[in-house]
Structure 1
């Protein structure tokens, strides 16, 4: 049982560390806790120096040990927390208070800092490998989760490892959301999927003191054997639409020809005008003398009578 749990934890840690894509280049803007460590070292050195200065005349090894112990106790008692950090303080194993930011004090042995909680927005990449859609198509999906801890007490008391818990919850929510839709809807419903996953995670993590800011799907990988089939299907659909459009145009043109034929059949003068227009356009395009059939020549018969009202 222990080996099984250990394998699950190793898999979760490996998944949490697995990069989705190349990380953006760092510009040196990442914050540091070096100031906190330097402050603790300075407090230790001050306590050590004060004890040594007070009992300098009785210099001995036990005195050095006592001075180091005093410096260590002071370093454990006087601490600082950065602006973005909150410290969960336990007294005799029970939750006592939330300390920080800035200077705070601890009672040695009686109190201790159980956790340092970062309250900034945290970015967590996660994946869903071979997530099945409603039509049983396996997809590999990469997404990014933006979240923050608004209640450090609940985040530390209600769940063992809130960072790993929200990673698992995000992956499960993504699989559930993908399993409700078909493959054709995955690409067109990205924004709806983001909102749906966010709502599912909010419901799960609210009791943990965690708020999900947003969920963004970065990439959807379709199996290669389906990419060709989908490409052929899209091509066939476009060809079908083109043929339907061409048929509609042919139908409209044929209806126009029928209407024109009805007009020409009812009015001989309209037919003669059309004939003359065709001859004019032919001469204009080709130039020179045009040898026209006898039917064209008939259009010029009685032209004087045609022009008269």
Structure 2
């Protein structure tokens, strides 16, 4: 078992490890969905409401107009908000869960209500790895995989777990280690699809209570220790050679059995043997074309040919 100090170090290094792993995978770069419309709406609402208030009280007092305009603008922009199509907002009232808002326009009562979280409900891609995962035959492997998941219940994702993204990453790594520990080294490569499904089932059991569903788990790479790669190559070569020899032996056995059956037929009927001899002579003449020198025993097949044809 790993010590608590080592587990603590891994927990501290988790964000950097995820970032490094994501960079090393060289995923195709794409422009992320913009939230500029949300910010522009808040700025426009702030300027409009604040400017309108300042205009109405401008003649009374300049400082009051400016300070009041800023205050009104801040209150208005924090009260009336918008959420993109893919986003859901968890709203708390006096510290208790109240509702899920979005997408589109929604209102938050200042001081009384607050936005606890903004949850993206699109499919999220998370790369993760299991470094030195030990198989059932005690072989350490390095495995890289990709997890596709999404939040289907924003309330549970916000209330039931502190940081659902980190929780999903740690759960995926643990599930992969557990799944690898149940099989041997030789089965890791041949049962990759089954291993994906097993990790997916383990993750679904853990994340269902968090309002998260796992779409799929895909293993990208399996790193075998360099000192074992040569041994595995020789083992695979020996296995293929063994299979080829067994196949050759089975073929020779089948051919010998056919020869035995043919000999029994020839032994029971002399005419069958003569026909076979004549057929061999015909094939030799056909292949070489012309006169063929053959043993004198071949000529016996043509003896008493008149009686044979009758």
After TM superposition, the score normalised by the length of structure 1 is: 0.88
Residue 134 (1) aligns with residue 136 (2): yes
Kindly indicate whether residue 72 of structure 2 is the aligned counterpart of residue 96 of structure 1.
no
**Cα distance, 1:45 vs structure 2:** 0.2
Mapped contact 2:134–2:141 kept (Cα < 8 A): yes
- Shift of residue 270, structure 1, vs aligned partner: 3.1
Partner of 1:75: 77
Distance across 2 between alignment mates of 1:99 and 1:68: 27
The whole-number CA distance in structure 1 between the counterparts of 2:139 and 2:160 is 37
CA distance 1:279–1:202, shift in 2 (3 Å): closer
Deviation, structure 1 residue 58: 4.0
Corresponding residue to 1:32 among 34, 42, 57: 34
How many Å separate the matches in 1 of 2:256 and 2:198? 51
| CA 1:274–1:95: 2 relative to 1, 3 Å | closer
Counterpart among 223, 226, 232 of residue 224 in structure 1: 226
Q: Report deviation, 1:121.
A: 1.9
Q: How does 1:147-162 map to 2 (within 5 A)?
A: 147-162=149-164
- CA gap of 1:72–1:288, structure 2 versus 1, over 3 A, is same
CA contact (8 A) 2:55 2:65 kept: no
Unaligned runs of 5+ residues in structure 2 are none
1:13 maps to 15
Q: Flag the 1:5–1:139 CA change in 2: closer, same or farther, 3 A.
A: closer
Tell me which moved more, 177-186 or 274-283.
274-283
Deviates more, 1:203-212 or 1:157-166: 203-212
Instruction: Map Cα deviations across residues 53-82 of structure 1 (whole Å, 9 max, x no partner).
Output: 112224534532222122112111111112
Aligned to 2:26: 22
Q: What is the distance in 2 between the residues matched to 1:143 and 1:289?
A: 72
Identify which range, 177-186 or 140-149, moves more after superposition.
140-149
1:303 matched residue in structure 2? 305
- Alignment CA distance shift 1:103-1:302 (3 Å): closer
Q: How far apart, in 1, do the equivalents of 2:6 and 2:91 lie?
A: 33
What's the TM-score, normalizing by structure 2?
0.88
Task: Name the count of aligned residue pairs.
Answer: 304
CA RMSD of aligned residues (A): 2.4
Question: In the aligned structure 1, how far is the partner of 2:253 from the partner of 2:9?
Answer: 69
Contact 2:54 2:68 in 1 (8 A): no
Q: Deviations over 1:142-165 (max 9, x none)?
A: 222222222222211221111101
Q: d(CA) in 2 for partners of 1:184 and 1:170?
A: 23
Comparing 248-257 with 260-269, which one deviates more in the overlay? 260-269
Q: In 2, distance between residues paired with 1:6 and 1:304?
A: 101
Cross-structure match for 1:249: 251
